[in-house]
Amino acid sequence: MNMTAWMKKGWSWLRTHMDPRLFMMLMAIVVGIFGGLAAVLLHHMIEMVAGLFSGYRQRAWSFLLPAMGAAAAVYFMEKIVREGGGHGVPEVIYAVSRHGGLIRLRSTFSRIFASSMTIGSGGSAGPEAPVVMSGAAIGSNIGRILGLNERQRVVLVGCGAASAIGSIFNAPVAGMVFTMEVLLGQWRSSHLLPITLAAVTGTQLSRRLHGNQIPFESAIFGIQMHDTLASAGLALITAVVAIGLIRGMRRMHGLSLFLASRCHLSPWTRAGIGGLFVGMIGIFFPVVLGEGYYAVREMIAGEFSSGIIFVLVILLAKMLATTFTLGWGGIGGIFAPSLVMGAMAGLLYHRILVFLFPAVGWVNEGCFALLGMAGLLAGVLQAPLTAIFLIFEITGGYEVVLPLMVVSAFSTILCRYGEPHSIYLKDLVARDELLRPGTDGRVLLDLRISEVMEKDCIPVQRNMLLRNFIHLLKNSRRNYFPVEDAATGRFVGMVHLDDVRPYLLDQMLYDTVLMEQLMHRNVMVVHPDDELGDILETMDRLGLFSMPVVADHRFMGMISKATLLDHYRKELRVQTSDE
Amino acid sequence: MNPRFFHVYQDTPAGREALLQTVFFCRMLGAAPVVYIPETPRFLMYFENRVVQVDLDCDPSDLKKRARWQARASEILAGSGLDAHFLQIHHRTTPELPDVPVDFDYMSCPVPASARHFVYSDLGMRRLPAVAPFSVLIPALVARGWKSLAVFYGGDEKKEGVLAAGLAMARNTGLPLDVFTRGPVPVIRSASFKAHVRHVVAGNKGNDFWMDVPPEALMIVGASGKGWFRERFFSTFKKELRSSLPGTCVFVGPQAQESYMRIWERETDS
């Protein structure tokens, strides 16, 4: 027996003898390692690209760097890996909700390289969404290679994303919460344990390779009651900024697509133009370039010395730079810019408070910068728990947890008034592609027409006499009879038992009435490619209880509401069980 | 239900030739063509355990151009007496990335005009047959009708699926089948299958083996779905065949072979 055969045998033994939960935990560790490595690689890549460009930052033409980076990133995505743009999180959510977490192999690395070019050259974007995509793709492809089923693959997709987020932020809890809250949209203990383990593995690996660094060190603030109450007001500001950012991104994307189609611009030229605008903004406000974390550190430390108007202007400039980077097709995420803008919003709010109420002993402005970060993130992602745990973990301070909860919760609620869906879900919802497990659409998606179709209908020919039909009726349990053309076999109509009833008692008609005289010709039919959701909608609209399935003019079977409901219940049970 | 043949139409001379070959194939097997007019330069096909991206040479950039492509495809199909059914996309992974359904019986693989990409040039040709439950038609550069079928059988029990595919197609089309094998001569017990076998050619590698293949034969070849590295850097039967014979091929992957094997076993048992 050769090595491959031994390995196959060992694998098969492991699959059959190992407890499934324990097996998933083992797989979670494997995915966690690769997810963590992807995050570390991205981190190094960004540093490397930034280092490469740093020598040219003082040159007169340095404003062209973001354009070059964005164009190169999109060229890489379009021509080298042939994947297309976008930050990838909606793609992961789509894969989880519709295709059991199937993601292309190339996604495991593509966005790591592309986003490092965008961010390293000065584009206003973050590395988190691309690394989520990479981690999720790693999980998906490990699941595929190992031949896991759909449910297990989805868990591994979550494991990959959680480990990547945990690793890049050094925040395992935030990674786990983000995955459950944003990506999977459900909290199940069967998912929670492997995802937690993957997040821990990824983070631990990153700590080993990178050191255990807290991204934003916070001081002891000494928060009082009035600070906590005031944080509710900050939620209003962060909600407004979040709504502005979501809408700005969408409008800018629409504008860029419109101009690109009018001027026949290639995707990389489009991204390059966006990058050019970012470079020009960067001439006046260098703080908007790149991730912008160094500015956040200054704000948290209370060392950001600009005045109210200047903070407002750089907040708007950062928003504009982000919409130009991502809205024009640059590769990167919205996470980091949201944190930066949130910190700016917090700072702005603190300065307004101090200006309006100078006699009150307000907490240090760094605390409000932290709260602003949580508020904006909660609003943009519509994920308050992710925001709370992320800020809590990346600052290493438990002290701010109360106002953090207030601002995150209020910001999420207020943001929903303006934008009912998060930046990740907005597009999916608009395309009607978001299907969370256990929802009506998701249950129907897993049912196939061929599964629910009843095939025991007896077709009759259009020239069949009523006498023959009555004879056939004795052996049938159905009320519907498809009528076919004898010569071509084509479906021509339907006969319902009710149509025959008036003729049953008159034996004189038995040898004179033909089926084509009784049949309904304009019958609403279903095609095997139709979606069950649409079929049910048609049935409800027309008050039908069953419909014939016809393909290539041939009768295939019947679909009835009763059978559909039966299958629906079974599927719902499968989807909502925690096994 | 008639078998369904999925075709991606590209409005180029090569695309027209490919559609003509689809037409021949559909008429031969009584299949119903389902034509997709691409909206973007790539699309995804989600199979049970894998997602495959298909890259195209060109795509119509606007609605007017798409309508023109559709009209041309309809004209070609109508000229052959086939109904034109155009695929409507219901779902998209991203707005620029349509998901194409996979429940077809055959598909014509859009073969790029030239190998312009080191990694992804022949991915579609390799991956589609490897994971698809359907057989994949690889069109030749020039369309012409087929007068016989030629199946390449490895002589291995594991590869009987491709033989079963050839026999099933021969029976359904009524065309004579030549079996080419480099291993032992296969034993065909089912009388209904056996009647369609014209010649069994056992040979070795080399020019003579390829020269025995009739020029107007549709070639049926097994596709193992071996990895990219092996296909790219090592000699495979598929590569040898593609470089030696310019005709149209049908690649029958492992999953499609399984379904043909079920037919074969049913027939043999009966």
| Termini Cα distance of chain B | 23
Each residue of A65-80: pLDDT tens digit? 999 999 999 999 988 8
CA B105 to chain centre: 10
Exposure class string for A388-421: b at 16+ Cβ within 10 A, else e: bbbbbbbbebebbeebbbbbbbbbbebbeeebeb
Question: Are B94 and A556 a contacting pair at CB < 8 A?
Answer: no
Q: Using CB atoms within 10 Å of the CB of residue A358, give its burial: 0 to 12 exposed, 13 to 18 middle, 19+ buried.
A: exposed
Distance from CA of B50 to the nearest CA of A (A): 6
For the ranges A149-163, A176-190, A467-481, B149-163, the maximum mean pLDDT occurs at A149-163
Q: Where are the alpha helices (DSSP H) in A170-265?
A: 172-178, 189-210, 225-263
In this predicted model, which residue has the larger pLDDT, A88 or A70?
A: A70
Q: Which residues of B touch A84 (CB under 8 A)?
A: 42, 94, 96-97
Q: What CA–CA distances, in Å, run from B134 to A341, B128, B213, B223? A: 51, 9, 24, 12
The reported pLDDT for the residue numbered A117 is: 92
CB of B228 less than 8 A from some CB of A: no
Cα separation values, B111 from B61, B100, B107, Å:
20, 17, 12
Surface-to-core class of residue A148, CB atoms within 10 Å of its CB (0-12 exposed, 13-18 middle, 19+ buried)? buried
> Which alpha helices (H) appear in A419-548, and where do they start and end?
426-430, 440-445, 449-452, 466-473, 497-504, 515-518, 532-542
CATH code, residues A441-576: 3.10.580.10
Which helix H or strand E contains A283, and what residues bound it?
A: helix A267-284
pTM above 0.90, yes or no: no
Per-residue confidence (pLDDT) for residue B118, from 0 to 100: 56
Ramachandran category for residue A438: left, alpha or beta (phi over 0 → left; psi -120 to 50 → alpha): left
Query: CB contact, 8 Å: A554 with chain B?
Result: yes
The alpha carbon of B28 is separated from its chain's Cα centroid by a whole number of angstroms, namely: 14
Task: Give, in degrees to the nearest 5, the angle at Cα B177 between B175 and B182.
Answer: 165
**Would you identify the CATH topology of the domain A225-433?**
Clc chloride channel (1.10.3080)
* Residues on chain A touching B53 (C-beta within 8 angstroms): 82-83, 104, 106
Q: Which residues pair with B204 in a beta bridge?
A: none
Least confident of A167-171, A255-259, A316-320, B205-209: B205-209
Chain B residues whose CB is inside 8 A of the A103 CB are 51
pLDDT of residue B226: 64
B101 vs A552: CB contact, 8 Å cut-off? no
pLDDT of the residue at B115:
56
Cα–Cα distance between A163 and A269 in angstroms, integer? 34
CB atoms inside a 10 Å sphere around CB A512: 12
State the complex-level ipTM. 0.86
Query: Cβ B91–A433 below 8 Å, yes or no?
Result: yes
pLDDT of residue B157: 64
- Residue A443 pLDDT more than 80? yes
- Nearest chain B Cα distance for residue A148, angstroms: 9
Task: Report the alpha-carbon distance of residue A249 to residue A241 in Å, rounded.
Answer: 12
pLDDT above 90 (res A324): yes
Q: Of A509 and B155, which is predicted with more confidence?
A: A509
A441-576 shares the fold of A18-210: no
For A173-208, the pLDDT digits (tens) are 999 999 999 998 888 888 899 999 999 999 999 988
Interface test with B, best of A76, A77, A102, A550 (most B CBs within 10 A): A102
What is the distance in angstroms between the CA of the first residue and the CA of the last residue of chain A? 36
Per the CB < 8 Å rule, is A144 touching B50? yes
Domains of chain B in start order, with CATH, are 4-138 (3.40.50), 148-269 (3.40.50)
For residue A83, what pLDDT is reported?
84
Residue A25's pLDDT band (boundaries 50, 70, 90)?
A: very high
- A82-91, A271-280, B38-47, B180-189: lowest mean pLDDT where? B180-189
CA-based nearest residue to A159, from A127, A199, A187: A199
Task: Kindly report, residue by residue over A237-258, the tens digit of the pLDDT.
Answer: 999 999 999 999 999 999 999 9
Q: For the domain A18-210, what is the CATH superfamily, name and number?
A: Clc chloride channel (1.10.3080.10)
Boundaries of every domain in chain A: 18-210, 225-433, 441-576
Instruction: Find the mean pLDDT for residues A51-69.
Output: 85
Question: How much is the mean pLDDT over chain A?
Answer: 87
Strand, helix or coil for residue A496: strand
